[in-house]
Amino acid sequence: MESFTERAILIIKNIPSGKVMTYGQIAKLAGSPRGARQVVRILHSMSKKHQLPWHRVINSKGEIGLKDDEHYSVQRLSLKSEGVEFKLNGTIDLNRYLYEPEIYDHLI
C-alpha cells in the first residue's frame, strides 16, 4: 500500500490545467481527512522534486493560501494563465473550478 505522501503526490499530479483542489480535499482522498497541513508540507518540500502543479492547490474558502506577496502573485498568475478566473474579492469559484475526480480509486 502506498503511503499518504505518495498518494497525495499522485493526486496533486493529476489535477488538470484550469482546475483546483483544496488541501483538505487532497488529504481526504489520500486517506487522512485531517491531514491538510501535511499536504501543505508535501507541497512545500516536494513540488520541485516531483514537478507538482502546486499552484492548483488552494484553501477551502477558494483562496490562495500563500501570504507572501511574490508567491501569491506567481500562483495567481499561473492559475489565470490556465483560464481560472478570480472573483472581485480575490477568491476562486469552487463550483466552477474545483476538480472532483469521478473515480478516486484510479488515483490511489
DSSP state string for 53-74: -GGGEE-TTS-----SHHHHHH
In-domain check, residue 86: yes
pTM confidence score: 0.91
What average pLDDT does this structure show over 20-26? 97
* pLDDT recorded at residue 29: 93
In a domain, 74, yes or no: yes
Domain membership flag for residue 105: no
Tell me if 41 is assigned to some domain: yes
Q: Is 48 exposed, middle or buried (0-12, 13-18, 19+ CB in 10 A)?
A: exposed
Structurally, the chain folds into a number of domains equal to 1
102 secondary structure, DSSP code: S
CATH of the domain at 52: 1.10.10.10
In a domain, 40, yes or no: yes
Mean pLDDT across 3-22: 96
In a domain, 108, yes or no: no
Q: Residue 90: which domain range?
A: 4-100
Give the mean pLDDT of the chain: 92
